[in-house]
Amino acid sequence: MNPTNQVIINLVVSGAGPLARPPIDHERGATLTRAIVATVALFSLGACAAPTIRTSDQSQAAVGQVPAQVLALAGPYQDLQTVWLNPEDGCYWYRHGGQVETTMLPLRTGAGKVICLQNSDAPSAAG
């Protein structure tokens, strides 16, 4: 056997040749698997959480506290029993109970314009 063949045989037998794979780190693979499973579980459980509707005693107004002008402007397809003024944007909102979920939606006129307060605290229909 010539010396060149001996070197090639040694590389193939030792696994140090160009086709050799790096050693498998089983601990790293297990850690990665645990991280993936934990992430999937977290997102799966998060999807089961009940949606929360943010309301506070200061911003929640009973229908008796909503001006008659606002109720007169509102379109017929909205629940006027749940109307409240949102202090963040100055607009009136109502609770819409859909088939799948309950959502807070802006109160709109019959023409579809959002009902908000102007600077003078009089309700107006914003475009």
Ranked by mean pLDDT, the top range of 36-50, 60-74, 93-107 is 93-107
Percentage of residues in the chain having pLDDT higher than 90: 14
Q: What is the pLDDT of residues 41-57, one digit of tens each?
A: 887 777 666 555 555 44
**Lowest-confidence range among 64-68, 89-93, 100-104?**
64-68
Q: What is the pLDDT of residues 25-46, one digit of tens each?
A: 667 777 888 888 888 888 777 7
DSSP SS3 for 116: strand
- 94 strand-pairing partners: 105
Q: Do residues 57 and 85 lie in contact, with contact meaning Cβ atoms separated by under 8 Å?
A: no
